[in-house]
Amino acid sequence: MEGFDEIIHQSARLQIMAALNALDDDSQMEFSALRELLGLTDGNLATHLRKLEEAGYVAVEKTFVGRRPRTYLSLTPQGRQAFANHVRALREIIGSA
């Protein structure tokens, strides 16, 4: 199935991609805010983010606010395209049934 993406399709990663895709192109979400929104643990979210980052779908930016480290996340253009293709593939599966 063209556009169907095994990396994205896993449930937690699908939610991460959907959440970050809902942001504007120039916006980033803080790690803990995404964790709270999706109800994932630190370790679980970090593991899935690593996989998405390795695929080139998620950009991770580590920075400091005052003395506190913060991690900001966003979709890369490649990630947005892959997510759009994946959604289209899912719709085609439903349409062809």
Partner 1 sequence: MDAPSPQEAKEALALIEETTRRMRRAVAHGGAPYFLIIWGVVWLLGFGGAHFIGPNNAHTGWLWAILDTLGVLASFGVGWRLGRRVRSRNGGGALLGAFWLAWVFYAALIIAFARPQSGDQLSLLISLFAMMGYVTTGLLYRSTFITTLGMVVTLFILAGYLLFLPYFNLWMAFLGGGSLIVAGVYVLQTWR
Rounded-to-integer distance, Cα 20 and Cα 25, Å: 9
How big is the CA angle at 52 (ends 17 and 67), to the nearest 5 degrees? 90
Find the binder of partner 1 among 53, 70, 71, 76 (CB under 8 A): 70
Site for partner 1 in 18-57 (CB under 8 A): 18-19, 21-24, 26-30, 32-33, 37-38
Say if CB 52 and CB 20 are below 8 A apart: no
Q: By three-state DSSP, how is residue 17 classified?
A: helix
The region of 6-14, 40-48, 50-58 touching partner 1 under the rule CB under 8 A is 6-14
Place of tokens 């980052």: 53
The residues of the shown chain that bind partner 1, judged by CB under 8 A, are 1, 4, 6, 9, 11, 14-15, 18-19, 21-24, 26-30, 32-33, 37-38, 65, 70, 72, 87, 89-91, 93-94, 96-97
